[in-house]
């Protein structure tokens, strides 16, 4: 069984990419379950999606220390997911800082040592820069699909399946951009 967590901030499109991943897994004959926590309609809260696929999936929640891959679309959100890591997990983080409300109003500080702390304490951390890609793709909204591209490098599904599923969930008008974003994300992982 494979266990994938997507984490981000409301509005970053975490749920959409989890749907794409599920669709690819289903196409490849796996049982699949997902669980999402996305709070209320307002923007800006933490969002988390668990996706699991394998021969038979019972719990829709990944147990603590049970994630194979954690994809974080924002730095700080990664720090909330550490309990899901085990020594074989891979943690992929987008190097971006989005200030939560308490930081915005000056009541708290955004920790400045996240990157160095993770590098020192969890060797399987990959921090990616997506800024250039998004500029080239032409929309910041494709960040979620760039990260999906990163993930795809670790999973044994073929490109055609990915592209097909992306086209199922992304608006026609944004499809080309998203496919490009996906491919460039895939290239980000050595």
Partner 1 sequence: MKKEIMLGNEAIARGAWEAGCHVAAGYPGTPSTEILETIAFKYRDIKAQWSPNEKVALEVAAGASVAGARALATMKHVGLNVAADPLFTFSYTGVNGGLVIINADDPGAWSSQNEQDNRHLARAAKVPMLDASSPSEAKEFTKLAFDISEKFDRPVIVRITTRVAHSQGIVNLEEKQNIPLKDFVRDPKKYVMIPAHARPRHVFIEEQIIKLKEYSTTSGLNFIEWKNKKRGIIANGVAYQYVKEVCSEDSILKIGMVWPLPDDLIKEFASQVEELYVVEELDPFIEDYVKSLGFKVKGKEIIPLCGELTPEIVDKALNGKNIESPLPAYQGVIPPRPPKLCAGCPHGFVFNILKKLDLVVNGDIGCYTLGVLPPYSAMHSQGCMGASIGMHLGFEKARGDEMARNSVAVIGDSTFIHSGITPLIDLVYNKGTGTVIIMDNRATAMTGHQENPATGKTLMGEETFELDLEMMAKACGVKRVTVVDPRDAELLEKVIKEEVAAKEPSVIITKRKCILKK
Please report how close the Cβ of residue 162 comes to partner 1 at its closest, in angstroms.
16
Give yes or no for residue 139 binding partner 1 (CB under 8 A): no
Q: Please identify, using beta-carbon distances, which residue of 41 and 107 lies nearer to ligand SF4.
A: 41
| Binds 111: which of ligand SF4, partner 1, none (CB < 5-8 Å by kind) | partner 1
Choice from 1, 8, 15, 42 touching ligand SF4 (CB under 6 A): 42
Q: Please identify, using beta-carbon distances, which residue of 45 and 167 lies nearer to partner 1.
A: 45
Q: Please identify, using beta-carbon distances, which residue of 18 and 177 lies nearer to partner 1.
A: 18
Choice from 29, 41, 160, 171 touching ligand SF4 (CB under 6 A): 41
DSSP the chain: -EEEEEEEETTS-HHHHHHHHHHHHHHTT-EEEEEEE--SSSSSSEEEEEEEEES----SSPPTT--SEEEESSHHHHHTSGGG--TT-EEEEE------HHHHTTSS---S-HHHHHHHH-TTEEEE--HHHHHHHT-GGGHHHHHHHHHHTTS---HHHHHHHHHHHS-GGGHHHHHHHHHHHHHH--
Sequence-separated (6 or more) residues with CB below 8 Å from residue 120: none
Q: What is the x/- site pattern for partner 1, positions 14-53, by CB under 8 A?
A: ----xx--xx--x----xxxxxxxxxxxxxxxx-------
Applying CB under 8 A, the residues found at the interface with partner 1 are: 9-10, 18-19, 22-23, 26, 31-46, 57-66, 76-77, 79-80, 82-83, 85-87, 100-103, 105, 107-111, 113, 117, 121-122
């Amino acid at each position: 069984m494979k266990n994938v967590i997507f984490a981000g901030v409301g509005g970053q499109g975490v749920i959409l990419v989890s749907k794409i991943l599920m669709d690819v897994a289903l196409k490849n004959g796996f049982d699949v379950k997902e669980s999402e926590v996305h709070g209320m309609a307002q923007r800006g809260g933490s969002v988390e999606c668990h996706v699991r696929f394998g021969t038979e999936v019972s719990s829709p929640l990944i147990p603590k220390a049970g994630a194979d891959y954690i994809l974080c679309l924002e730095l700080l959100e990664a720090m909330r997911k550490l309990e899901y890591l085990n020594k074989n997990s891979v943690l992929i983080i987008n190097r971006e800082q989005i200030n939560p409300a308490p930081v915005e109003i000056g009541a708290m500080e955004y920790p400045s040592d996240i990157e160095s702390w993770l590098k020192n304490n969890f060797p399987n951390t990959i921090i990616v820069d997506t800024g250039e890609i998004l500029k080239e793709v032409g929309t910041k909204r494709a960040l979620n699909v760039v990260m999906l591209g990163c993930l795809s490098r670790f999973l044994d599904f073929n490109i055609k399946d990915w592209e097909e599923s992306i086209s199922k969930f992304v608006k026609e008008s944004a499809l080309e951009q998203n496919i490009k974003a996906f491919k460039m994300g895939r290239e980000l992982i050595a």
